[in-house]
Every structure is written in C-alpha cells, then in structure tokens.
Structure 1
Amino acid sequence: MTASLDIAFFGSSIVSAYWNGAATYYRGIVRALAARGHRVTFYEPDAYDRQKHRDIDDPPWCRVVVYRGDDERDALRQLTIAAQHADVIVKASGVGVYDALLEAGVPEVRRPGQLAIFWDVDAAATLDRIEGDTRDPFRSALPRYDAVFTYGGGDPVVRRYLALGARACLPIYNALDPDTHFPGTPDARFRGDLGLLANRLPDRERRIEEFFLRPASTSPERRFVLGGNGWGDKHVTPNVIKVGHVYTADHNAFNASCLAVLNVARDSMANVGFSPATRVFEAAGAAACLITDAWEGIELFLEPEREVLVAKDGDEVAEHVRRLDEARARAIGEAARRRVIAHHTYAQRAEQVERALVQGLATERGIAAPVSLGAAT
C-alpha cells in the first residue's frame, strides 16, 4: 500500500543552482519522494537572478511555482493556495526573501490534519542566530511547527533545537542521486591537480584561503582549479585557475578532470560537525578522490584514508596532493563511490522522510499508520 502525500515546499530554488548551494539537495530529496509516489509543489521566488540562470527546466517529478520576489502579497497568496490542498507544508531556511514572513505564516495557515515542517539547510547558522537573540521572531514560531528537519548537524543540533522548544528534530543528511552524479569524462577546462567548487561567502572565505589558496601558494608546480561565483576580484597565485560558475551539468566533468577535489565546510557547519555538504556526495558519486577539511562525524559517511582524505589545515592539503598519484586517487574515489551507493542515496533519505511524515500525519489525524509504505528502495 502506498500512502501518497501532497507536499508544498517553500525553498530558495529547485531549478537554479546559481548562488544556491541547496539546489542539489532539494532536487535529490524531491525527485526521490516523487519516485515513491508523492506529489511535490516547489514554491520559489524570482530573486537573485536565479530564473535567468536555470540549470534545468521545470522537472517532470515536481510542479514548480515561481512567485514574485518583490511583492510579499504574492508570497502570501501562494502560501494560502498551498494550504488549501497540501498534507504537508514545508518552509525551508534561506529562501532569501520573505523568510520571516513565511516562517510565521506557515503555522498560521496550517489546518487540522496537516503538518507544518521547518526544513533547515544551515541549522548551525540558524541556531547561532536565534540562540543569540531572544527577540528573533522565529523563536516564537518554532514550537508551532510539528517538526524540524535539518540538512545536517547530528545529535548536537537535535539537542539545541529541542532546548529551544521544537517538538521534534530529525537530521536528513545530504546524499547522492546516482542518476545525476556519476563518473564523467575529463574536460580540459577543468584540468588540474586540485579542484574546488565553492561560491565566495563571508563565512567560508577564510577557510578557503587556508585550505585551498595557501596550499596553492606553497605548491607553485601544481595547478589548482577554482569554480564558483564571486571570485573574480580575489587575488590568487598564478597557478590558480578561476573558471567561474560551473553549472550542475558540468560537475561530473569537473570532478573527473582533477587528480583530487576539495571540500571546505562553512564555519558554522565545520564547528558543529556531522554536516557533509552536497559536494561530498557529488564527488564520491563521480568516483573522484576527495580531500576534505576535518570536521567531527566524517567517519559516519566516509572512512578516512580509504574513502576520503582528511586535512586539518592547508599544510596537510598540500601534503595530500604531493603524495597522491593516479592509482591511489582512483582507488580512493572508487571506494567512496561504493560506500555512498550502498548507504547514502537520496532514495534512502526519501524513505526516511516518508516514514517521519506518515507517522506524523497519523498522529495528527488520530489514525494508525500503515505498516508498509511506498515503493521499495
């Protein structure tokens, strides 16, 4: 028996990864939920030029509604429409416009028999903000949500959310969509010894200087490839090649073109741990040799030295690159791919989401949850 849910999801964007690192996560989760028979409508604002830089057309596995980014009445209108049909209303963090309005509005429009979910794609940053400001409006809205889902953070984030009054908190980690990220063909544009895909953001730039730009400065004989928005005016050494925004369709080629690729966590996620970025699973799915900055919990996802290389600072990054040859890089990448396909796919994450939502709805509606739900994964 399949329990088909109608889910209204308010997020930053599912059709554009432009200045929007959550796009891969949204696509993986929503596509896998659709494969299990659920209907998802994704509501996103026309903001930050994302509609001009779409990676994909409206997908067949999701209905996309784009509302105006300069008129809060349109956002509220779409929220009202969503509440008329949805079983579950999701407000994601970091929409970018009208966040406070939507965070307050979702519990307001929620009807009996519906669930209201706050889905935090940067839980550490959200928690730092609201723990540091007792007047933050989300503090009063939080207990009115049925549950918080988080992009990462593990037990430390769960405990912090429960202490603030959340009814429940469940980490839904990043994962791999093996139909999207897989071993690709090298591309001369991206050829190098170490590649990094990362937008220039205030809470990550210092770490990128340490883990990427400093190793480049101490390894002039190596070629470092930097992809992402915002780096145009950043001073770099001559062996750093800036390639600008790399569209999702080119990520597999990027991962195949360097001896190794680097993951650098944002400050907040590195501090709390248990927060693997989408890049971790993209690289592993492409069988790329991944070097990551050190953070607590990495071993829950990939085994250091066998499936991933871990560095505590830029010197260790440089040493990993110096010692790496193609045979070892290939062995690490292939081991990582086997691990994530076995244990960390979006199909598995969607089953976890489905189970939580169906049980939550059963409790809300006072009925017994079905024993078997959805398609097998």
Structure 2
Amino acid sequence: MTRPLEIVFLGLSLSSSWGNGHATTYRALIKGLRLDGHRVLFLERDVPWYASHRDLASPDFCELDYYSETDTMIELYRERLRRADAVVVGSYVPDSVALIGKLVALELKRLCFYDIDTPVTLAKLDRGDEEYLALKQIPLFDAYFSFSGGEVLARLERRYGARRAIALYCSVDEDCYANTGEPRSWDLGYLGTYSPDRQPTLERLLLEPARRLPSMRFVVAGPQYPAQIDWPANVERIEHLAPADHASFYSRQRFTLNVTRSDMIAAGWSPSVRLFEAAACATPIISDFWRGLEELLPDGEALIIARGAQDVVAALTELSDGRRSAIAAAARKRVMRGHTGAARAGELVRALSELPANPAYQRISA
C-alpha cells in the first residue's frame, strides 16, 4: 500500500492527557501519519472524567469525534469503518469487549488492536479479568500491535493466539519536546500519575534521596496521589501538567526519574512515553531497571540505572556537568533517530502494508 491510507482509531483518549499516557502516544503517532499524507479518524468515548479535562479538544492533524453509545456510533460510522484500510481498537476503551464484537461482525478490511498496556492486559487476562479485551478475541485481530516488544511478542502468539504480534512502542512528538533553555528549578523530578505499584520505587529513588539531600530541590508532578503520603519539605508537588508544559518541566530538571509499573518490569521491553519525552528534551534520565532498557538507552552512556537511593544520591552529587550533558545528548540522539512519532508512523504503515485484506471483506466488496 503506497497510496495514502484511511485509518480509524477507537482509543481511550486523544483529547485529554489527564491521568493517562495514551493521549500523548496517540498524538505523536497520528501526527506522524498525517505528515505522510494518511487520513485518520479518532473515535473517543465521551466520558465525564476526560470531558472536564480536555487539553486538545479539536486537533488539526486528524478528525476527532466523541460518542456516548456504541450502537449509535457504529451505525453513524458504519461505511467509514468498512471503507477504512485499517480499524485500530486501543486498550482500556470503555465497553470495548462489546465494541470489538460489533466490529468483527462488520467484516472490516483490517481489524487491529493497539495495546498501550500490554503487560497489564496479559496480567489481567491471566486473572480472568476481561475488562477491555476478552481472551477469545485476540485471534480475531489481523494484527496485535503491542506497547511491549521482546519476548512478549512470542508469548502473545504462542500462548494467547495472536495471528501477528508486532511491537509498536510509544513515541515522542518531535515538534513539542525539545529543551527550552530555561534555568534549572529542580535537581531531580518525576512526572507520572500515582500508581500503588510504582509508589515504593518513587519512595526509594526520589523521596529517600530528597531526605538525604535536604539542600537539593525535588518535584513530583501528577494527579491522584493519596493525601497521607509524607512528602519531604524539599519536594514540590504539582497536581497536573498538560502536555504543552512537559518540555518546560523536563528542561528545568538537572535529572529526571523514570519509574516503571511492576507488570511492565516483569514483561521487559516496555518503554514508557515519558522516557522518550525526557530524552527528547535532553534531560539526563535516572531509571529503575527492566530487561530491554539497555537495548534502547545503554546504562552509563544514554541514561543511569538506579537500583537504590544511594545510586541516585551518587548521580546527584558526583556526576560532572560534562558527563551529565553527554549522557543526555546520547539519549536524545537515539530517540530522535528511532522513536519519534514520524518513525513510529512509518513502522505502522509498513506493518499494515504486509497484512492481507480480510477475505470476507473482499467478497462483500466485489
């Protein structure tokens, strides 16, 4: 397929980045598709939580529409869905088990799943939790695009029956993420929504170093943190940062911290969008460890892996400015070469071009 494609995404959210990493992931990818001339429609379930926190209600790089009821949406967009070169359902879409069933019944040209939460999805399925994807539905997709790569892909095919499991990592919007040159405000910061499984690592790698280094400044940005957390006096809290403020936030940190959810650590090869965003802003990254990380950003060359508070303290107190800058520059070079929205869009289009159209679709369209 060398002509421009028509792609329909049904995802958790494009309009609101509040409390999720999906919106910025979709934005970078779809902007990359638009740059190459592809046409995208994004359909988003209209839920109060995101409706009251929209920071991109009317994007200029794709069509965005909201729906409240699945059957009505299917009826309204039936021909558009059937005409699309690919329909891509994302993870965590509300009522998506029923939605997927209705899309399968339409016998679309290509139906794919984009799992931005693969390790979480598989852990849920192993517990019998089919909140947004039923185990029996996995073999129905022409391709299962996965936020995680590595051995997870073989597991998806061999254990869960995916026809084709293809890595499609998150990416960074190169137009929005670059160092702003602002003066430093903090020695170490972290951006992320509260998660119980990440909190012990945040405690170990940021709050404990803050207690040991009272003269330094720290910051944690993100919503939903419980009131009972004991924040050291030198840790500033920011409730929410819109994507438009991310580059400024990263640029004002001497180092930034990457913390990974437990399911992602167990799976490996699951880089978060925050990792790429920080690198694009040339902010040196301190990260917890997971398999596959050093294939993306080698330890000591493009980031610093910390296993305990002392590793963080050492980085903050012993690393020279020259070494810190070299690590940041190496990370930025790697990310801008292979992990931008444009790069990821190219990967998606190449993968779709290798998928044959659904034979049932071809019969109906003949």
TM-score computed with the length of structure 1 as normaliser: 0.88
Match of 1:103 among 100, 108, 130: 100
Residue aligning to 1:372? none
SS at match of 2:173: coil
SS at match of 1:279: helix
How far apart in 1 are the matches of 2:80 and 2:209?
A: 49
Listed one character per residue, the Cα deviations across residues 330-367 of structure 1 (whole Å, up to 9, x for unaligned) are 22212211221223222222111111111213585999
How far apart in 2 are the matches of 1:158 and 1:199?
A: 30
Match of 1:292 among 271, 283, 287: 287
Is it true that 1:168 corresponds to 2:168 in the alignment? no
Match of 1:87 among 85, 95, 101: 85
Residue aligning to 1:370? none
Listed one character per residue, the Cα deviations across residues 293-334 of structure 1 (whole Å, up to 9, x for unaligned) are 111111221121121111123332222222234333222212
Query: What amino acid is aligned across from residue 88 of structure 1 in structure 2?
Result: A
CA spacing shift, 1:340–1:145, aligned 2, 3 Å: same
CA spacing shift, 1:85–1:363, aligned 2, 3 Å: closer
The within-5 A match list for 1:99-138 is: 99-111=96-108, 114-133=109-128, 138=134
CA spacing shift, 1:200–1:166, aligned 2, 3 Å: same
CA spacing shift, 1:274–1:102, aligned 2, 3 Å: same
Report sequence identity in percent.
32
Instruction: Give how far 1:30 is off.
Output: 1.0
Listed one character per residue, the Cα deviations across residues 17-75 of structure 1 (whole Å, up to 9, x for unaligned) are 1112111111111111121221110111122532332222422221001112xx44445
> Which 5+ residue runs of structure 1 have no aligned equivalent?
368-377
Residue aligning to 2:319? 324
The within-5 A match list for 1:1-377 is: 2-68=2-68, 71-77=69-75, 80=78, 82-95=80-93, 97-111=94-108, 114-133=109-128, 138-186=134-182, 191-231=185-225, 233=227, 234-361=229-356
CA RMSD, 1 decimal: 2.4
CA contact (8 A) 2:220 2:237 kept: yes
SS at match of 2:114: strand
Listed one character per residue, the Cα deviations across residues 224-255 of structure 1 (whole Å, up to 9, x for unaligned) are 10101112613211111001101111111111
Listed one character per residue, the Cα deviations across residues 202-228 of structure 1 (whole Å, up to 9, x for unaligned) are 332232222222222232222110101
CA contact (8 A) 1:12 1:45 kept: yes
CA contact (8 A) 2:16 2:55 kept: yes
CA contact (8 A) 1:5 1:39 kept: yes
How far apart in 2 are the matches of 1:82 and 1:323?
A: 58
Query: What amino acid is aligned across from residue 86 of structure 1 in structure 2?
Result: A
SS at match of 1:235: coil
SS at match of 1:214: helix
CA contact (8 A) 1:287 1:334 kept: yes
Number of residue-to-residue matches in the alignment: 360
TM-score computed with the length of structure 2 as normaliser: 0.91
CA spacing shift, 1:169–1:251, aligned 2, 3 Å: same
**146-155 or 165-174: bigger deviation:** 146-155
CA contact (8 A) 2:149 2:166 kept: no
**283-292 or 295-304: bigger deviation:** 295-304
CA spacing shift, 1:240–1:39, aligned 2, 3 Å: same
